[in-house]
């Protein structure tokens, strides 16, 4: 682990070009931008607006002043504050994705410090679960997955390190500008900082086809993916529309698309980034050399068996490439053009022995050996295994992207977006409406890299950039309220939604920048406002005037995502394994479900109960429970999830062994907390599931259900049928009562109150 | 009808400008220019979606109203259920087909050996492909291999005299029902991209499947069953569930894979330890909890929809097993589909299931033949296709006969095809490589011109040359038959009014009855 290198940062920061106003920039662009385009709100400089003065009300925070100004203009008010139970459950699900525990609830209700909610928000922001919750939002944007997609959907064995990087970054409140720079150009800016290197995987999460023959086309598709993703995530601009023609609605030229793409023209996947200190690597090499020496004789015999097969596999594979690719592969490295280097780098993902996708891996070779030769090989291998104790093992490896060298291949505007229809060459640059000049790029001092991505990162994090801060504070607002101030979080264009509260958006953006791009600062500002604390109760008058609650006259009730539903069920049932980080886990799939690429069910059952963010993300087979609850499809960035309701969701929640098993654990926990007293059981279950106790009317109807249901269960038990009983049921309780309690707990977790953040 | 109606502006857009305004109905021409304006603001919640879908489809129904049957349009418009995204909806114009059954020959059947005879190819057998045919990059680098003749015997069949080879004798008996399209082309070179494109329009995964678009456009005709169903006869389809994904459309529209063993849908029956009466009692209790919770939240339709979804699930528990229960089918019917023979049993059962599902209102059914790319005859096409044709011929012919006998063929569009065809040049001496430049599909029933042949490939069957039909054109045609103008069935996503046909697609009018 090595210290970060500040000098290169400073050097590259100087490379940033300055922003000029949209109006003057437009003058030298390829086409005239209209007055409407030039005056589009999102392209104007962020200014810090005056906080409105609300005379007749004790306004808690500037956010409330902005919200009240709009409400009052329509004779509306904020709703009264939500009750404390609701508020804590809301905040807890919002910040950490888990309901509050009964102890946390108790502590909050009894906290008499004068500002208990502020304290609760701080506690939640400091919880390591905060990063796990908010990283999931970011992973949606990053179209994060751990497999290639396409036919084989092969595993990307080290993709999870990026997921852990995002969790850690949120937990450490990494300044957003730094977070952005690391993901775009961590390798160029901080080549000695492991986190910054791992961060570059943001641009490595594209789906990829290992079986592609036309690498020219494949490279273009990858670049398109990166361009679309970077454009929408960091700038909130729908660049994708400009791939084939000038954007129909927004002032985005087709050349803008390729200007952005040019920043990435020399990138390639780097799946072998060693995450170890020089000393460690040296030691490792020495030990490996020793093992090699000890095993040379055996290995030479094995290689002799393997080599003809290996050569045949590679020859067959290479011959399927088009001629120009074969020619590039055949050339000595020094004679390859920058573009040919790109082709070779892509092919080497399959042809290089150190790649996890090597087509002639020992496994593949051995599989194709004739039985008698294979037997011979296996004997040798058994002998080799005897030396395993001398082998140093594999070095920890990360995946990311890198530039192949300082010399980038040219980027061309492509006619209709076709890879083989290049038109004019373009240089890296940002949106022409903001600055038509090419970006100023300097090669980083310590890397053989173009420096282009570092230049882009500088442009994006320049406080004068009108998009970056607005886009990010709007995303944070979106996840808190279910709808952004701009309702289309990745489309700030002319056809996207206009901000409901433009001044508030600017105020938040300027707060963000002034406070060192601190995301936790924005959370705190939002969550401690009265706007956030208000109840979700309906108000007919307001409902008539603003039926969609755009003005926030109440808190918007929101359904939890599939991940949060699963995590909440695990938490309530007491089964949640809070272990953080590391390789992903594989919980049980429904019986009969198969996946190409494999699903390596964890044998250690506790691992299956890890938080949802650690569940392996296989592109072609999302974990079914998440998929049915609208988890995005991971092939492109998702800024806003759909929220649908379907009978398939109901079947999953109702009929899977998994949820019934959780209900059994939940019931076991209720018994442990409350013993056999029914009143105590009902209250304990409600506290766990809903962070409240039921009112007398509710309790009465629950009791009547339990009586009736118990009789039904008893009738069934009399036939000798198997019952689902609470975990660790003691002999204190009758099994029919136990089964009824399980069903009660099961339905509590199926009910709307459980899956909504109220 | 020369124009349709779009909402401009959408209902909620002008909110901040002042009061809500009623939508303005504005005629737009059908040349494809109309999509510029009505950007429907994307939804942020199911609630909002329903509202949108409600008014969007209301407007679509209104266009129907102008030119078509007024009473029908009104009735359907009133029927839109704001609590249910799968509520049945009217398309843009009177549909010819109510349902689609797509028999998908996965791996790429050889058009050259089935429906597109090429005497010139046989004449040039053993020679390299003449340079005049141009350069192609193939999946296996076989373009410089010699041309390979077809060993099949082709005959003309029926009144229409359509050429079909001896590999499909039973289907050939239905020649007069088929609308053959010999001039298909696609963009992909590999299976997964090509299967993906044939389903979603794009070789890159992530877009909604055509079946999902149909579900989005039409809603469900039987809410107790999934609207879009996929069945396989062997291994996992290459690319898996991406091929029936709802992509950026709401998850309610994604396809559901029916399993052949166990229950057709995961979690369809309660766990062993929960009895039927017990399940009903639990659900009643759940409904009570949800009603109590909603008592002061009556305005929230999402809560009601979720309550309702449990009742739908409960009904699906009995409706789905009934739909897939073949015990009630007669031996004669089973035999018709080849279920009495090992080679055709599995695919025959799927085809019969497809008919049962369509009868029960399922909109879009896909039956994969050779799922997992079994039609992929890189070597020994004789052995491969003999087997694959045998396993699919009788079941498909049986399906056509059965649909016809039950009067369902008119309202059911049957589509036959793979993700691409195969090359005229050989691979490994006796196989054929992938050919996305020219291949054949056919359709039957559901408003296509029976006994017709559209389009042609060049003299060796490499490229489509006459009436070239891209995958988007095929999709546009299927949507047209279902009652949609493909340029007008849209969903706003990432700043674009996305549609099934992306930027392309023209209805293949020559195939229409």
Residues B54 and B119 in one domain: no
For residue A11, name the pLDDT band (cuts at 50, 70, 90): very low
Does the pLDDT value for residue B24 go beyond 50? no
B67-85 average pLDDT score? 36
Please check the confidence at residue B464 and state whether its pLDDT lies above 50. yes
Q: Give the number of A-B residue pairs with CB atoms closer than 8 Å.
A: 268
Long-range CB contacts for residues B62-67, cutoff 8 Å, separation at least 24: B62/B5, B62/B25, B63/B1, B63/B4, B63/B5, B63/B92, B64/B90, B64/B91, B64/B92, B64/B93, B64/B94, B66/B1, B66/B5, B67/B1, B67/B93
Per-residue pLDDT for B44 more than 50?
no
pLDDT over 90, % of chain B: 61
- pLDDT of amino acid A641: 87
Q: Are residues B315 and B337 in the same domain?
A: no
- CB contact B134 to A (< 8 Å): no
- Answer whether residue A732 shows pLDDT above 80: no
| Same-domain status, B315 and B332 | no
User: What is the crossing angle of helices A176-189 and A452-461, to 10°?
Assistant: 170
Quick: pLDDT tens for A564-612.
Answer: 999 999 999 999 999 999 999 999 998 878 777 789 999 999 999 999 9
Q: What is the mean pLDDT of chain A?
A: 92
Mean pLDDT of B220-231: 90
Window 458-497 of B: residues touching A by CB (8 A cutoff) are 494-496
Those residues with Cβ within 8 angstroms of residue A624's Cβ, 6 or more apart along the chain or in another chain: A589, A590, A593, A652, B266
- Going by pLDDT thresholds of 50, 70 and 90, the confidence category of residue A2 is very low
Token representation of residue B310: 């449990």
pLDDT for residue B139? 78
B238, B283: one domain: no
Determine the pLDDT at residue B142: 85
Q: Which residue has the higher pLDDT, A46 or B241?
A: A46
- Give yes or no for residue A334 having a pLDDT over 90: yes
Contact A209 B192 (CB under 8 A): yes
Provide the pairing of β-strand A397-403 with A267-274: antiparallel
CB contact under 8 A, B190 and A322: no
Maximal C-alpha separation, chain B: 80
* Separation between Cα atoms, residue A385 and residue B440, nearest integer Å: 54
Q: Is B271 within a domain? A: no
Residue with the larger pLDDT of the pair B271 and B55: B271
Q: Does B71 touch chain A (CB under 8 A)?
A: no
Lowest mean pLDDT among A1-10, A206-215, B80-89, B108-117: A1-10
Q: Is the pLDDT of residue B89 over 60?
A: yes
From A212, which residue of chain B is nearest by alpha-carbon distance? B190
Q: Is the pLDDT of residue A227 over 50?
A: yes
How does pLDDT run across A673-709, given as a tens digit for each residue? 999 899 999 999 999 999 999 999 999 999 999 999 9
| pLDDT value at residue A312 | 95
Name the domain count of chain B. Answer: 3
Please say whether the beta carbons of A233 and A142 come within 8 A: yes
Kindly report, residue by residue over B282-340, the tens digit of the pLDDT: 999 999 999 999 988 888 878 887 888 898 899 988 899 899 889 999 999 999 999 99
* A306: closest CA of chain B, how far (Å): 24
Query: Which of B79, B108, B132 is the last residue before a domain boundary?
Result: B79
Q: Which 8-state DSSP code applies to residue A615? A: B
Assign B84 a pLDDT band (cuts: 50, 70, 90): low
The secondary structure of B422-469 as a DSSP string is EEEEEETTTEEEEE-SSEEEEEEETTB-TTEEE-EE-TTSSSEEES-E
Bigger pLDDT: A26 vs A356:
A356
Distance from CA of B13 to the nearest CA of A (A): 8
Amino acid A23: pLDDT: 38
In this structure, the number of other CB atoms found within 10 A of the CB of residue A47 comes to 11
Q: Taking CA atoms, what residue in B is nearest to A708?
A: B281
Q: Is B113 in the same domain as B154?
A: yes
Q: pTM of the prediction?
A: 0.83
Per-residue exposure over A383-405, b if at least 16 CB sit within 10 Å of its own CB, e if not: ebeeeeeebeeeeebbbbbbbbe
> Average pLDDT in the A37-49 region?
93
| Residue A622: closest C-alpha in chain B | B241
Residue B9 pLDDT > 60: no
Query: pLDDT value at position B72?
Result: 30
Looking at residues B4-8, what average pLDDT do you find? Answer: 32
Q: Mind listing the pLDDT tens digit for each residue in A198-218?
A: 999 999 999 998 888 889 999
Phi and psi, residue B201, nearest 5°: 95, -15
Instruction: Give the gap in angstroms from C-alpha A475 to the nearest C-alpha of chain B.
Output: 13
Contacts of residue B304 in chain A, CB cutoff 8 Å?
Answer: none
Identify the domain boundary among B79, B111, B133. Answer: B79
Rounded average pLDDT over A213-228: 94
Residue B496, domain extent: 99-263+324-511
CA–CA dist A420, A632 (Å, integer): 32
**B69-73: long-range contacts (C-beta < 8 A, 24 or more apart)?**
B69/B94
B-contacting residues in A 607-626 (Cβ below 8 Å): 619-621, 624
Which stretches of A320-423 are DSSP H helices? Answer: 323-330, 338-351, 362-367, 371-385
A238 has pLDDT over 60: yes
Question: What's the pLDDT band for B83 if we cut at 50, 70, 90?
Answer: low
Cis peptide bond upstream of A16, omega within 30: no
Q: Are residues B314 and B461 in the same domain?
A: no
Rounded Cα distance, A721 and A32, in Å: 78
Is residue B392 domain-shared with residue B487, that is, in the same domain?
Answer: yes
Residue A270 pLDDT > 80:
yes
Helix axes A116-126, A519-527, angle to 10 degrees: 150
Where a domain ends, among B321, B341, B358? Answer: B321
What percent of chain A stands above pLDDT 70?
A: 96
Same domain, B490 and B421: yes
User: E strand or H helix at A468, and its extent?
Assistant: helix A468-481
What residues pair up with B412 in beta bridges, in sequence order? B99
CATH of the domain at B481: 3.40.720.10
Average pLDDT (B409-422) is 98
B14/A contact by beta carbon, under 8 A? no
Task: Specify whether B217 is located in the same domain as B288.
Answer: no
Kindly tell me the burial class for residue A637, based on how many C-beta atoms sit within 10 Å of its own C-beta (0-12, 13-18, 19 or more): buried
Q: Are residues B68 and B107 in the same domain?
A: no
Query: Would residue B269 count as lying in a domain?
Result: no
Verify that B143 and B207 share a domain, yes or no.
yes
Residue at B139 is within a domain: yes
Instruction: Specify which residues B493 forms β-bridges with.
Output: B496
Q: Are residues B241 and B350 in the same domain?
A: yes
């Amino acid at each position: 682990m090595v210290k970060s290198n500040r000098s290169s940062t400073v050097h590259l920061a100087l490379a940033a070009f300055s922003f000029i106003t949209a109006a003057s920039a437009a003058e030298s662009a390829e086409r005239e931008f209209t007055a409407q385009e030039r005056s589009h709100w999102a392209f104007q400089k962020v200014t810090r607006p005056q906080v409105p003065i609300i005379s007749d009300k004790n306004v808690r925070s500037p956010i409330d002043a902005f919200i009240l100004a709009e409400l009052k203009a329509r004779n509306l008010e904020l709703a009264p504050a939500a009750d404390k139970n609701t508020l804590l459950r809301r905040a807890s699900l919002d910040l950490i994705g888990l309901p509050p525990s009964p102890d946390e609830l108790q502590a909050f209700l009894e906290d008499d410090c004068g500002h208990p909610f502020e304290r609760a928000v701080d506690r939640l922001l400091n919880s390591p679960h905060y990063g796990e919750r908010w990283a999931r939002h970011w992973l949606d944007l990053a179209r994060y997955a751990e497999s290639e997609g396409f036919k084989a959907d092969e595993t990307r064995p080290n993709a999870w390190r990026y997921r852990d990087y995002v969790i850690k970054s949120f937990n450490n409140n990494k300044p957003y500008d730094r977070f952005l720079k690391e993901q775009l150009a961590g390798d160029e800016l901080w080549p000695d900082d492991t986190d910054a290197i791992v961060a570059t995987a943001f641009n490595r999460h594209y789906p990829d086809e290992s079986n592609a023959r036309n690498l020219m086309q494949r490279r273009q598709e990858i670049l398109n993916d990166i361009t679309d993703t970077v454009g929408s995530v960091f700038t909130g601009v729908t660049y994708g529309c400009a791939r084939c023609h000038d954007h129909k609605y927004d002032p985005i030229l087709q050349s803008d698309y390729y200007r952005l793409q040019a920043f990435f023209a020399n990138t390639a996947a780097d799946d072998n980034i060693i995450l170890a200190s020089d000393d460690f690597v040296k030691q490792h090499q020495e030990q490996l050399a020793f093992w090699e020496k000890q095993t040379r004789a055996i290995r030479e015999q094995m290689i002799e068996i393997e080599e003809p097969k290996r050569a045949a596999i590679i020859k067959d594979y290479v011959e399927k490439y088009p001629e120009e690719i074969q020619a590039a592969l055949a050339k000595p490295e020094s004679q390859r053009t920058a573009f040919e280097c790109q082709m070779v780098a892509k092919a080497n993902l399959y042809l290089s022995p150190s790649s996890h996708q090597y087509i002639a891996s020992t496994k593949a070779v051995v599989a194709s050996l004739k039985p008698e030769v294979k037997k011979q090989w296996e004997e040798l291998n058994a002998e080799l295994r005897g030396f395993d104790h001398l082998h140093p093992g594999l070095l920890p490896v990360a995946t990311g992207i890198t530039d192949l060298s300082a010399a980038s291949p040219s980027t061309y505007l492509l006619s209709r977006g076709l890879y083989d229809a290049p038109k004019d060459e373009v240089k890296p640059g940002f949106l022409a409406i903001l600055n038509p000049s090419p970006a100023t790029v300097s090669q980083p001092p310590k890397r053989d890299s173009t420096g282009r991505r570092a230049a882009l990162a500088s442009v994006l994090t320049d406080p004068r950039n009108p998009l970056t801060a607005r886009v990010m504070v709007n995303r944070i607002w979106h996840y808190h309220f279910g709808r952004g101030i701009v309702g289309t979080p990745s489309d700030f264009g002319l056809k996207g939604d206009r901000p409901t509260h433009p001044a508030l958006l600017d105020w938040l953006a300027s707060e963000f920048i002034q406070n060192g791009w601190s995301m936790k600062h924005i959370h705190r500002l939002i969550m401690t406002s009265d706007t956030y604390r208000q109840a979700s109760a309906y108000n007919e008058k307001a409902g008539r005037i603003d039926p969609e609650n755009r003005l926030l006259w109440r808190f918007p009730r929101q359904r939890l995502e599939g991940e949060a539903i699963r995590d909440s069920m695990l938490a309530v049932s007491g089964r949640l394994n809070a272990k953080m980080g590391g390789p992903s886990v594989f919980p049980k799939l429904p019986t009969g479900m198969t996946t190409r690429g494999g699903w390596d069910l964890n044998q250690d059952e506790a691992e299956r109960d890890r938080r949802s963010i650690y569940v392996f993300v296989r592109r072609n087979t999302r974990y079914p429970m998440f998929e049915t609850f609208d988890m995005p499809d991971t092939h492109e960035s998702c800024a806003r999830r759909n929220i649908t309701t379907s009978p398939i969701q109901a079947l999953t929640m109702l009929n899977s062994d998994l949820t019934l098993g959780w209900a059994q654990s939940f019931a076991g926990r209720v018994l442990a907390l409350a013993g056999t007293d029914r009143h105590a059981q009902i209250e304990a279950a409600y506290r766990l599931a809903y962070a409240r106790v039921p009112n007398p009317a509710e309790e009465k109807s629950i009791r009547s259900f339990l009586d009736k249901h118990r009789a039904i269960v008893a009738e069934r038990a009399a036939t000798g049928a198997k019952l689902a009983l609470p975990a660790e049921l003691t002999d204190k309780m009758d099994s029919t009562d136990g089964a009824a309690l399980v069903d009660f707990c099961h339905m509590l977790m199926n009910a709307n109150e459980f899956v909504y953040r109220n | 009808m020369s124009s349709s109606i779009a909402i401009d502006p959408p209902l909620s857009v002008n909110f901040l400008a002042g009061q809500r305004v009623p939508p303005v109905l504005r005629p737009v021409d059908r040349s494809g220019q109309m999509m510029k304006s009505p950007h429907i603001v994307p939804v942020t919640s199911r609630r909002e979606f329903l509202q949108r879908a409600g008014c969007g489809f209301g407007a679509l129904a209104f266009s129907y109203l102008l030119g078509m049957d007024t009473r029908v349009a009104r009735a359907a418009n009133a029927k839109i259920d704001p609590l249910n995204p799968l509520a049945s909806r009217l398309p843009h114009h009177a549909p010819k087909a109510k349902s689609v059954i797509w028999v998908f020959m996965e791996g790429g059947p050889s058009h050259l050996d089935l429906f597109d005879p090429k005497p010139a190819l046989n004449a040039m057998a053993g020679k390299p492909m003449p340079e005049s045919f141009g350069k192609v990059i193939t999946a296996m680098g076989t373009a410089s291999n010699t041309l390979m003749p077809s060993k099949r015997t082709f005959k003309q069949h029926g009144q229409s005299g359509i050429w079909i080879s001896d590999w499909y004798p039973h289907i050939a008996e239905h020649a007069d029902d088929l609308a053959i399209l010999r001039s298909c082309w696609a963009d992909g070179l590999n299976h997964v991209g090509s299967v993906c494109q044939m389903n979603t329009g794009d070789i890159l995964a992530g877009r909604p499947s055509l079946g999902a678009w149909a579900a989005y456009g039409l809603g469900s005709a039987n809410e107790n069953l999934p609207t879009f169903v996929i069945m396989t006869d062997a291994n996992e389809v290459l690319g898996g569930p991406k091929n029936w994904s709802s992509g950026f459309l709401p998850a309610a529209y994604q396809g559901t894979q029916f399993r052949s063993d166990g229950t057709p849908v995961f979690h369809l029956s309660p766990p062993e330890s929960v009895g039927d009466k017990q399940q009903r009692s639990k659900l009643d209790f759940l409904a009570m909890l949800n009603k109590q919770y909603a008592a002061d939240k009556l305005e929230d339709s999402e809560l009601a929809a979720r309550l309702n979804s449990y009742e739908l699930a409960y009904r699906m528990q009995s409706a789905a097993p009934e739909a897939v229960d073949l015990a009630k089918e007669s031996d004669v019917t089973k035999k018709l589909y080849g279920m009495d023979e090992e080679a055709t049993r599995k695919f025959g059962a799927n085809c019969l299931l497809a008919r049962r599902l369509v009868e029960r209102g399922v909109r879009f059914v896909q039956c994969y033949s050779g799922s997992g790319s079994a039609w992929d005859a890189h070597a020994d096409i004789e052995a491969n296709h003999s087997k694959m044709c045998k396993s699919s011929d009788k079941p498909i012919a049986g399906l056509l006969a059965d649909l016809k006998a039950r009067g369902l063929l008119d309202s059911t569009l049957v589509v036959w095809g793979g993700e691409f065809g195969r090359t005229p040049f050989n691979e490994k001496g006796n196989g054929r490589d992938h050919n996305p430049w020219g291949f054949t599909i056919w359709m039957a029933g559901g408003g296509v011109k029976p006994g017709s042949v559209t389009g042609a490939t060049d003299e060796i069957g490499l490229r489509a040359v006459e009436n070239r039909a891209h995958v988007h054109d095929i999709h546009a045609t299927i949507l047209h038959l279902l009652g949609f103008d493909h340029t007008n069935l849209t969903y706003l996503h990432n700043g674009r009014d996305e549609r099934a046909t992306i930027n392309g697609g023209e209805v293949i009018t020559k195939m229409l009855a």
